[in-house]
């Protein structure tokens, strides 16, 4: 099965405030994303490919409400907290934190955990506390995965190495997999590989051989499906589709020059290009 994920980060921020939202007024943004994509995705077999869209929490209800009957789109949250509510236990003392139970209650079926931006944030907190052991990040993410699965959510778990970590990538990725996935249901986890060292302006994108090597390593370590999390774009869709060990990709922005932003019609074009090259024709 192919997995095509959309991570909309903070792309809801209006242009006048430094963001890239040219799609819709803020209250309507989540619904506009769904309405602009779901009908075009119906042509694909839901047994062969899944489409999950991860939105900031403020837009989850609007996105879920915009889903039509038998929509091919699934809605997901951008992470969950490492603890949750429980009958007879903590019934809501989670100020500022997004629990898996509330995400599920809002209509989500999936969550994104361990994205490189989340990992960077957690590492920053640990450093500020004077700690040098960054392995704690993987243990915290493991707690999040367990909470997500207990609430009935599937998980896209992201792993990746920085430029400093690249010489020992097997050790780094192995620890992220072993600690992050300890005692979880692997049948409800997909791994998103993010080559952090190659992501961003001025950096050289990871090549086909490198991505394939990593995907083989991950599948040999945990057996989960693997998608490319370094950014599925129009210009790399064909290359990624040619890697048999890669089961999909993570899309973010669709336009990187000019009026930078997310555009539904360009998102559909990326998906069509990737799935056609993969042999998943409608």
| Bridging pattern class, strands 49-55 and 189-193 | unpaired
Widest pairwise Cα distance in the chain: 54
pTM of the model: 0.97
118 is catalytic: no
Options 3, 50, 59, 115, the catalytic residue = 115
Q: Residue 115's closest CA among 54, 34, 58?
A: 54
How big is the chain by its Cα radius of gyration, in Å?
18
Q: How far apart are the first and last CA of the chain?
A: 14
Rounded Cα distance between 41 and 47, Å, is 13
The CATH number given to whatever domain includes residue 57 is 3.20.20.70
Residue numbers of the domain that contains 268: 2-278
Q: How many degrees, rounded to 5, is the angle at CA 154 between CA 200 and CA 281?
A: 70
CA separation for the pair 248, 173 (Å, rounded):
19
What pLDDT score does 281 carry?
62
Q: Tell me the three state secondary structure of residue 224.
A: coil
Q: Concatenated DSSP letters for 84-153? A: ---TTS--S--TT---HHHHHHTT--EEEE--HHHHHHHHHHHHHTT---TTHHHHHHHHHHHHHHHTT-
Tens of each residue's pLDDT in the chain, 282 residues: 999 999 999 999 999 999 999 999 999 999 999 999 999 999 999 999 999 999 999 999 999 999 999 999 999 999 999 999 999 999 999 999 999 999 999 999 999 999 999 999 999 999 999 988 889 999 999 999 999 999 999 999 999 999 999 999 999 999 999 999 999 999 999 999 999 999 887 788 999 999 999 999 999 999 999 999 999 999 999 999 999 999 999 999 999 999 999 999 999 999 999 999 998 766
Q: Is 171 exposed, middle or buried (0-12, 13-18, 19+ CB in 10 A)?
A: exposed
63, 27 contact by CB (below 8 A): no
**Known catalytic membership, residue 194:** yes
CA dist 76 and 97 (Å) reads 16
Number of domains in the chain: 1
Residue 49: C-alpha distances to residues 4, 38, 157, 172, 281 (Å): 7, 13, 18, 30, 11
Q: What is the pLDDT of residue 203?
A: 85
């Amino acid at each position: 099965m192919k997995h095509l994920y959309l991570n909309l980060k903070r792309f809801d921020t209006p242009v006048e405030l430094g963001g890239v939202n040219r799609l819709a007024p803020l209250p309507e943004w989540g619904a506009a994303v769904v309405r602009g994509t779901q009908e075009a995705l119906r042509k694909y077999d839901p047994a062969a490919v899944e489409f999950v869209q991860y939105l900031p929490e403020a837009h989850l209800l609007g996105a879920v409400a915009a889903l039509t009957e038998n929509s091919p789109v699934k809605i997901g949250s951008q992470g969950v907290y490492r603890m949750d509510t429980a009958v007879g236990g903590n019934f809501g003392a989670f100020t500022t934190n997004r629990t898996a139970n509330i995400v599920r209650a809002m209509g989500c079926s999936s969550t994104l955990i361990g994205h490189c931006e989340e990992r960077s944030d957690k590492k920053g907190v640990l450093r500020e506390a004077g700690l040098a052991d960054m392995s704690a990040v993987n243990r915290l993410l493991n707690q999040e995965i367990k909470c997500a699965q207990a609430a009935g959510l599937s998980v896209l778990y992201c792993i990746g190495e920085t430029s400093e970590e690249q010489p020992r990538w097997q050790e780094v990725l192995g620890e992220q997999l072993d600690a992050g996935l300890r005692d979880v249901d692997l049948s409800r986890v997909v791994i998103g590989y993010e080559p952090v060292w190659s992501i961003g302006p001025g950096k050289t994108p990871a090549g086909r051989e490198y991505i394939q090597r990593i995907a083989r390593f991950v599948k040999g370590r945990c057996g989960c499906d693997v998608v490319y999390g370094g950014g599925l774009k129009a210009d790399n869709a064909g290359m990624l589709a040619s890697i048999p060990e890669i089961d999909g990709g993570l899309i973010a922005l669709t336009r990187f020059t000019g009026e930078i932003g997310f555009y539904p019609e360009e998102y559909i074009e990326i998906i069509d290009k990737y799935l056609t090259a993969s042999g998943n024709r409608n």
